[in-house]
Amino acid sequence: MTSKTIFTLNARDNICLDVVKGYFQLDESVIHNVINGSFKEFESILKRNKIDYKDLKNGLIPRLDRKEIALVFDTKKIESSWYGYDVFSNIIPCFDKISCNSVFCGDFIGDDKFKERLFKEFSSAINLIRPLDYEHHSQFFVVYINNLSDKMVENFNARLKSFTPYVGYFDLTFSSFIKTYLSTILVQCFIKSKNIIISEHEDERDNDGGINFLGYPFEENGYNCKSIQSMYYCLFLSYKIEHRVFPGFESDTNFSINALTKSVLNISGFNLLIEKEKFRYLLKEKQGKLKKAGIINLNITELELFIKEKINNNYIYNLTYLAEHDTIKFNLMVETKTKDTNELVKLNAALEYRLKDKKLRLITLF
């Protein structure tokens, strides 16, 4: 088996693998082959379309030094019933041509019995740029974008101010009710990688050639449109907006590990291992980060418990098998709040999956 890295595997927001495994009663060995066979074909499709998978990394995994936002638009102020076209006609020119971003969109939907809660959360979270005319939550159209610098956020906000339907934006860099809620109602629209737009198309269509499946004015703004079959797009190109693992959705983590090995156990039952040498290294080399996160005074056992408690609070990504060392590893984003200042801080934990002793060994924390 050769070394490989899969930036993300999405079995959280689509049920393809769950259905296939359950219907055909497949074991982890077969599922491992299914995932890897699909990934090999997926890489081949990207190559035929002159897309480098490595170029998509920053749009597919969460990053410590980048922001996530959700732009909000009042559809009552858009005459066309295809308000998404008007919205994206104004958003597309705002993108930085060298960035890679995953873009989600959708109406701010919700049952009327939750309308008061939705109004409260909406109102408290939004950064307004003009007075809000809120009649019902469903009047708003939301566009989520990840992997943004502070300057990029400022650019979107400044350039969209002249577009009357633009209301403002949610800062979704850290966890919140509104971030979790949007992660359940928005759908991925496309990935923008430099001057390429990648979207999905139906599985009956082949994967050669470029199709502007969404119909938005990408070409007019200097972008080349590519699209691939939904079965590959949903598994390997779907960014997962961060939220805790809900009961019943633990299989997403299991399938992610299954992509790297045929031997899969639920990691929630694993112990977290920090070796003494690693602990001393962290205290010396990562002192500033640990201090900012408010965990500099934890002893080795307390730090192990701290990270262990975070495992079910998010998904795993950057799934890697290192053939030379026969090592399976992945990353986990850890979010914490400092006790003194209540400041939210993110840490990136790299963990080794050790089946033999049922442990997750900390490789690094930064």
Residue 168: predicted pLDDT: 98
Reading the block at residue 179, the tokens are 């971030």
Q: What pTM, to 2 d.p., does this model score? A: 0.95
Residue ranges for the chain with pLDDT beneath 70:
1, 248-249
Residue 73: predicted pLDDT: 98
Residue 210: predicted pLDDT: 78
Distance separating alpha carbons of residues 153 and 169, to the nearest angstrom: 10
Residue 326: predicted pLDDT: 93
CA distances from 340 to 89, 166, 366 (A): 44, 37, 21
Q: What distance separates the 2 farthest-apart alpha carbons in the chain?
A: 64
Reading the block at residue 217, the tokens are 């004015």
Taken as a whole, the chain contains a residue count of: 366
Residue 244: predicted pLDDT: 82
Surface-to-core class of residue 94, CB atoms within 10 Å of its CB (0-12 exposed, 13-18 middle, 19+ buried): middle
Residue 248: predicted pLDDT: 67
* All CATH 3.30.70.60 domain ranges in the chain, comma separated: 58-236
Q: Which CATH superfamily is domain 58-236 in?
A: Ribosomal protein S6/Translation elongation factor EF1B (3.30.70.60)
State pLDDT tens for residues 175-192: 999 999 999 999 999 999
